[in-house]
Structure 1
Amino acid sequence: MDLHIMSYPDLTLQTLNTSLRRTNFPRWSPDGKNLAFTAVPDPISLESQIFIADSTTFEITQVTHIEGGMTNPGPLTWSPDSQRIVFAAPGQYRFIPANRDLYSIRTDGTDLVRLTTRSADETGPDWTPVD
């Protein structure tokens, strides 16, 4: 599936061709250098991973490598310094749709941290702005 990026103010449309399926939750980093999104990398699976596209080269890098993938991770939210992404994804009860926990990961794919472990659904993460 393709992602389409429109530049402003000239309104030039750039198409980012990918072999990925079900691209969702595109979100620009605060510094404007990267676009994070979720997608399904495996043509057989329905499970998603998180990817980043460089805004200059449009090179795509897979950030998460979670075995078995994640069911509908997102929405994605960048940290104010553009170094981490926080997102909601199924937790220990992964096949119960109403049980999503919050996770944080560095943009280089390291330091995946599970932030919550409740049996309730937790979504809509955000960061406190830095002064």
Structure 2
Amino acid sequence: MSKIVAIYVRVSTGKQADRDSIPFQIQECSNYVKHFLKTENFEVFKDAGRSGKNTQRPEYQRMIEKVKSGMVSHVVVYKIDRISRNLVDFSIMYNDFKEHKVAFISLNEQFDTSSAIGEAVLKIILVFA
């Protein structure tokens, strides 16, 4: 079974600025996946009108289930705050990613946890978050 790359996108309101809009996030993330991860095997998980302050988001939960079932190789987001605005929730999510060998990539903050440097950068960012 070939693993997928999960692209997670979210806006908290329907009136987000263009740089945070769902179509913009999907375009940026899918371009990254195609050009840098060299695959078309991705799935978009989209939570429109949902807050990032908790994990009670339908598409987020569906993505996490796929992560836990071993179906995901990478999770790609445009910005880290699209997936979580809560340090505790982020830490729990990231531990799930590590346990299931899923790399986490945030385009805006420019880190990729599939490398040791990316892992270190993430830990530094979390300290200051």
Name the TM-score, length of structure 1 as normaliser: 0.28
Structure possessing the higher radius of gyration over alpha carbons: 1
Structure richer in helix, relative to its length: 2
**Bigger relative contact order, structure 1 or 2, given CA contacts below 8 A and separation 6+?**
2
